[in-house]
Amino acid sequence: MKKRNLIYVAALGASIMFSSCNDFLDTMPDSRTEVNNEKKITDILVSAYSQTYPIMFYELSSDNTMDSGAKYNPYWKSITQYYLWQDVSEVDDDDPNGIWQGCYSAISSANMALQAIEEMGDPVSLNPQKGEALLCRAYWHFVLANTFCMPYNAQTADTDMGIPYILVPETKPMELPSRGTIAEVYAQIAKDLEKGLPLIDEDIYSVPKYHFNRKAAYAFATRFYLYYTHSDKSNYTKAIEYANVVLGTDDPTDVLRDWASLNSLPSDLEYIGDTYISISDRANLMLSPILSVWGYAHGPYAGRNNRYGNANTLFAAEGPQAAGPWGSYTNLRTINKLFGLTQKAFVPKMNAYFEYSDKAAGIGSLHLVVPMFTTDETLLCRAEAYILSGNLDAAVQDINYWLKTHSINYKAMSRTELVNFYSNIAYMPTVPESTGQRTIKKKLNPVGITVADGDQENLIQCVLHLRRVETVHEGLRWLDIRRYGIEFSHNRDGETPIVLAKDDLRRAWQLPQDVTSAGVPANPRN
């Protein structure tokens, strides 16, 4: 049965989790309901958060995944297609079709709210709802652009294909304008973002962390401006400014994830995973429940995709178990609680939750709660913005804040020590011939980003390494691979490895077949 045919759920009002979190589910408001008062506008914004997100194919497409051999079963056909960067033929929630539909459905709900607010005379009392709708519209277009378009490059953005930017509620599923350019898409995202940010007021939410609360909104703005490169580097100034709203300008370690407390929990992967995505965790800025099998596909479950994963070989040589500025992996709190199989190492972050629609028949749907924005990831965005704007010493300070909360025995690292650590690591070849050739460092071919050799590059390597550790299983590594033109290969059992070149057009996923069949131009291929 297709996952899309199973029950859909969304967060409404009070806290939402699933059975193991002892919370409750609410169904999505009917999008056909006439939206003509404050309560209905607030309610429709529940569905302005997509129930799908490309976490699974982002992660499986990246260098966080390897082939453990044909003797293992990938279980889901699309997993093999993700791994080989093939056009995906499946039509499920985790697939490009599901991402496209989920994001545009959320955008449509945001547009319904905005239209209703306008028709009511745009009262000041509805500013919080207006701000949330604008942030949602901006964010889901941002997700679509980073899935179906090539990475933003100021030099080519005026000709690179974008995605349809929808500004009015949809009346027909395929009523889409032209794709436009990525420059037009990013300009409109910036417009919605800047208009919405000052309107956000989390006092209207029962549980702010399931919405674009103020810090989550500014964390999104930080990431957006890090990606939205300008020739004068003014985007980095904005990224730093907005990160400061989230983190402050002093030592932010008291708002970063408390890894020491997580490490003190019993070795129960479900309990640790539930704690990681808890609304009470100070690091979690926005949590999004989605429909996804990713909790099973990457989790420590035999028989559920044992073929493609973050296998121990990869995890130890390139991943969180590799040595870093903290020293040996035994000094890294992030993986102090490690589970999994030889074929897929598992850091307990995002559990699989199953909700029954028919318990007697065993029918239901799998869910995942994704930490869309965290203080730790925002800190690394700020560090990267500091590096790219030339303030290397400020970046080193941010790197040390991260090391302080992630290391069991923390030792402050100087700029020279960090630079030397990464400069002494060999670049990993695109196609490694042995495990010994695998390292945490790959050559960079930045897209629209200028990175000087020496200190600047080595500090960028550091931030990319830290982010790879921080966001393992979460998909963001794929976006760094795109932005920095990182070339790498995926091994194939019994076959020649397949290479993703720096200018490979498969870095933009192909649009769903029913979308291109309706007349929306497909992505070109090499």
Q: What is the mean pLDDT of the chain?
A: 91
Entry field: residues in the chain = 526
- Give the model's pLDDT for residue 313: 93
- Give the model's pLDDT for residue 90: 83
8-state DSSP, 158: T
For the ranges 25-34, 93-102, 164-173, 348-357, the lowest mean pLDDT is seen at: 25-34
Q: What Rg do the C-alpha atoms of the chain give, in angstroms?
A: 22
Can you give the pTM of this predicted structure? 0.93
pLDDT at residue 220 greater than cutoff 70: yes
* Contact predicate 385/221, CB 8 Å: no
The CA distances from residue 317 to 59, 425, 436, in Å, are: 17, 12, 8
CA distance 120 to 523: 40
Residue with tokens 């033109």: 485
Q: Enumerate the β-bridge partners of residue 369.
A: 289
Q: What is the pLDDT of residues 107-151, one digit of tens each?
A: 999 999 999 999 999 999 999 999 999 999 999 999 999 999 999
Q: What is the pLDDT of residues 272-320, one digit of tens each?
A: 999 999 999 999 999 999 999 999 888 877 677 889 999 999 999 999 9
* Contact predicate 220/245, CB 8 Å: no
pLDDT at residue 439 greater than cutoff 70: yes
Q: Alpha helix locations (H) across 35-169?
A: 38-44, 55-61, 77-83, 96-119, 127-148
pLDDT at residue 23 greater than cutoff 80: no
3-state secondary structure of 368: strand
pLDDT at residue 332 greater than cutoff 60: yes
* Contact predicate 348/367, CB 8 Å: no
pLDDT at residue 6 greater than cutoff 70: no
456 vs 76 pLDDT, higher one? 456
- Give the model's pLDDT for residue 175: 57
- pLDDT bin (cut points 50, 70, 90) of residue 89 is confident
3-state secondary structure of 393: helix
Spell out the CATH class of 42-506.
mainly alpha
- Give the model's pLDDT for residue 299: 83
* Contact predicate 377/479, CB 8 Å: no
User: What number of other Cβ atoms are within 10 A of residue 237's Cβ?
Assistant: 14
At 312, give phi and psi (nearest 5°). -55, -40
pLDDT at residue 7 greater than cutoff 90: no
Class of residue 367 by CB neighbours under 10 A (exposed 0-12, middle 13-18, buried 19+): buried
Q: What is the pLDDT of residues 165-196, one digit of tens each?
A: 999 987 555 455 789 999 999 999 999 999 99
* Contact predicate 272/262, CB 8 Å: yes
- Give the model's pLDDT for residue 301: 76
